[in-house]
Homo-oligomer: A and B are copies of this chain.
Amino acid sequence: MIRRIPQARDRGIPDATVARLPLYLRALNGMAERGTATVSSEDLALAAGVNSAKLRKDLSHLGSYGTRGVGYDVQYLIYQISRELGLTQDWAVAIVGVGNLGRALANYGGFASRGFRIAGLLDADPHVVGDRIAGLVVEHADELESVIKKRGVSIVVIATPATSAQQVCDRVIAAGVTSILNFAPVVLAVPDGVDVRKVDLSIELQILAFHEQRKANGGPIMAEEWPDGVVM
């Protein structure tokens, strides 16, 4: 039986931890702006909305960056988390599908400030191609492969209708992209080695509705039957 010997800086950081690091980073940036020099796990955990033991365990996966009796140096921790997440370099992102959502994303300033530079906007609709949005001109979807290669795009955001998403996905993967953020409500099929993250707003609302219903009724109405009262 093979047992992994845990090391000081174990390379395998749990997914759950990776997903929280950006949260810590955001809280730390706020503190840095307010001039805070050091912070305890307790306070940082509070600001990030997690439990302090979890925070300490998460940070311990990156290394031993705290000082007992004192806490963590805010600037140093910002740097370490940023480095771990790969935010010390900047990333070229292309947005495919410049409709309602694609436009909102393109106009959003919060990406650039985190090192995500929008390097291309692409759409299949000739009425949209040529529009200038947030300083960029929308290019035709036919240019997808060439834009990806010329501008070193490594992350693609898919904001097309569901029907085109898989096709766009296949093309960007063929062009060498291995990180995709998908807003279309479809399950994308991708080969191993490609990471897809999805954001589905309608799923979030459905989860809220589930809990809301429980709060109101203590559960769904009409347990086992069809609306007309006939059990199948």
Contact = CB atoms under 8 A, between A and B. Distances in A.
Given A47-B187, A83-B222, A155 B205 contact: yes
A204 B88 CA distance: 17
B22 A203 contact: yes
Nearest to A91: B209
Interface in A13-51: 18-19, 21-23, 25-27, 47-49
Interface in A208-231: 208-213, 215, 219-224, 226-227
Given A195-B211, A197-B208, A88 B221 contact: yes
Contact of A85 (B76, B209, B226): B209
Interface stretch (A135-143, A164-172, A177-185): A177-185
B114 A206 contact: yes
A146 interface: no
Nearest to A204: B197
A181 to B, nearest CB: 6
Copies in the complex: 2
A106 B197 CA distance: 23
Interface of A: 9, 11, 18-19, 21-23, 25-27, 47-49, 63, 73, 76, 79, 83-89, 91, 93, 100-101, 103-105, 107-108, 110-111, 114-116, 154-155, 178-181, 185, 187, 193, 195, 197, 199-213, 215, 219-224, 226-227, 232
Contact of A178 (B154, B155, B185, B215): B215
A114 B202 contact: yes
A103 B100 contact: yes
A155 B195 contact: no
Nearest to A208: B179
A206 B178 CA distance: 14
Given A103-B100, A114-B205, A205-B93, A76 B232 contact: yes
A225 B200 CA distance: 38
A195 B214 CA distance: 12
A150 B210 CA distance: 23
